[in-house]
Amino acid sequence: MSLKNVSLLLVSFFMCTVFSQTSFAAPLKIGMVTDVGGVNDQSFNQSAWEGLQRTKKELGIKVSYQESKQDADYPANLETLYDAKNDLIWGIGFKMADAIMIAAKQNPKQKYAIIDYSYGDKTPPNVVGVMFKAEEGAFLAGYIASKMSKSGTLGFIGGMSVPIIHSFQYGFMAGAKYANKKITILEQHAESFTDAAKGKAIANQMMGKGADVLFHAAGAVGDGVIEAVKEKDKMAVGVDRDQNYMAPKNVITSSMKRIDNAIFNVVSELNKGVFKGGKTIEYGLKDGAVDIAPTTTKMIPSVLLEDVAKLKKEIVAGKIKIPNNQKAYNSYLKTLK
């Protein structure tokens, strides 16, 4: 062994000890994998990244992300973050459910968290699921839509008939009926989250049948819905984020998921050493994880805003039981006077 090699060995040994010592008190390192929307999707991936950036600013956490261009990228991106030795890896969106499950089983010591998915009883001990009571925000949006409608007909456009969308759908319908039991609500699913032209066609058809406030929970299909509403100068309700910028005169409110707040909550708990692995956490209005859009205040009369504020308190206090599926909705309707 030459002198050079010995010195190299010594240096690397020295560096190893330095690193292992510093890593003891090092800040947490957290990464996230976006779904196909990418980190600036003006929607939930962006919201998630904003949440992580807030943890960086306020808690000093080291954050990073991996973008997925297609569904097939999820396992590789999760692997990359695993190799980078993150303390917690986030998967943003229910599409990543299978990939996270597989990764969590392969690496039982690695902590994972997933947005918008619950594995129920099968949640591995190193995974936490984060769900949103989207129905609570949608309920408020439905209440507003119902009060703002002049024609007495509303429309709901869903992406697909799946539980995540149902929570928006039945929450919205429950809120609308709460405001006006006689209101008519048209419902249709686009069976797509990308076909904007189809969204526009469905919206046009609904407006042709007299609907004047349309709510969509259909991703990019909603671009077409909002466009149709803008052209016919009717009203729309946005989803996930504040979508007022899409049509500032027409989007009266949005049913928001504050993924940023949810991520911040989970990370700040982890920073204190708490990790609710093996469970699904449900965040709602109470935790600030769902809400209506801030721009709502510009779009609706102040009397209605006061009503909404009251309603919010009642929901947080648990006085109104908001349905998130068809069965619960049907029994909810019977409770209405």
Partner 1 sequence: MSTIQIIFLFSTTLMYSTPLIFTALGGVMSEKSGVINIGLEGMMTFGAFAASWAAITYSNPWLGFIVGGVAGMLLALLHAIASIKFKANQVVSGMAINFLGLGLAIFFCRIFFEGASMTPPLDLETKIPQIFGQYATVYVAFFLTALIWFIFNKSSLGLRLISSGEHPKGAVAAGIKVNRYKYFGVLSSGFLAGLGGASLSIAIVSNFRPTLISGQGFIALAAMIFGKWNPIGTLFACLFFGFSQALVVFIGGFETQIISSQLLATLPYILTLIILVSFMKKTTAPSALGQ
What residues make contact with partner 1 under the rule CB under 8 A?
Answer: 36-42, 69, 160-161, 186, 188-189, 191-198, 200-202, 204-206, 208-209, 219-220, 223-224, 227, 230-231, 245-247
Cβ distance to partner 1 smaller for residue 226 or 289: 226
C-beta of residue 199 within 8 angstroms of C-beta of residue 225: yes
Q: Classify residue 336 as left (phi > 0), alpha (psi -120 to 50) or beta.
A: beta
Enumerate long-range contacts of 318-321, CB under 8 Å, 24 or more apart: 320/139, 320/178
C-beta of residue 324 within 8 angstroms of C-beta of residue 332: no
Q: How far is the CB of 184 from partner 1 (least distance, A)?
A: 10
Cβ distance to partner 1 smaller for residue 116 or 227: 227
Cβ distance to partner 1 smaller for residue 57 or 69: 69
Cβ distance to partner 1 smaller for residue 69 or 321: 69
Q: Read off φ and ψ for residue 72, nearest 5 degrees.
A: -65, -15
Q: How far is the CB of 210 from partner 1 (least distance, A)?
A: 11
Pairing relationship of beta strands 213-217 and 127-132 according to DSSP bridges:
unpaired
Locate 86 and state its tokens. 């993150």
* Gap between the Cα atoms of 148 and 143, Å rounded: 9
* Gap between the Cα atoms of 265 and 30, Å rounded: 14
C-beta of residue 76 within 8 angstroms of C-beta of residue 96: no
Q: How far is the CB of 83 from partner 1 (least distance, A)?
A: 24
Q: How far is the CB of 284 from partner 1 (least distance, A)?
A: 28
Q: How far is the CB of 236 from partner 1 (least distance, A)?
A: 12
What single DSSP character describes residue 48? H
Q: How far is the CB of 142 from partner 1 (least distance, A)?
A: 20
Cβ distance to partner 1 smaller for residue 140 or 246: 246
C-beta of residue 77 within 8 angstroms of C-beta of residue 83: no
* Gap between the Cα atoms of 32 and 337, Å rounded: 46
Q: In what order do the strands lie in the sheet with 29-33?
A: 62-66, 29-33, 88-91, 111-115, 127-132, 279-283
Cβ distance to partner 1 smaller for residue 52 or 103: 52
Cβ distance to partner 1 smaller for residue 28 or 186: 186
Q: How far is the CB of 245 from partner 1 (least distance, A)?
A: 7
Locate 193 and state its tokens. 């989250």
Cβ distance to partner 1 smaller for residue 107 or 205: 205
* Gap between the Cα atoms of 61 and 328, Å rounded: 41
Q: How far is the CB of 223 from partner 1 (least distance, A)?
A: 5
Locate 261 and state its tokens. 């707040």
C-beta of residue 35 within 8 angstroms of C-beta of residue 93: yes
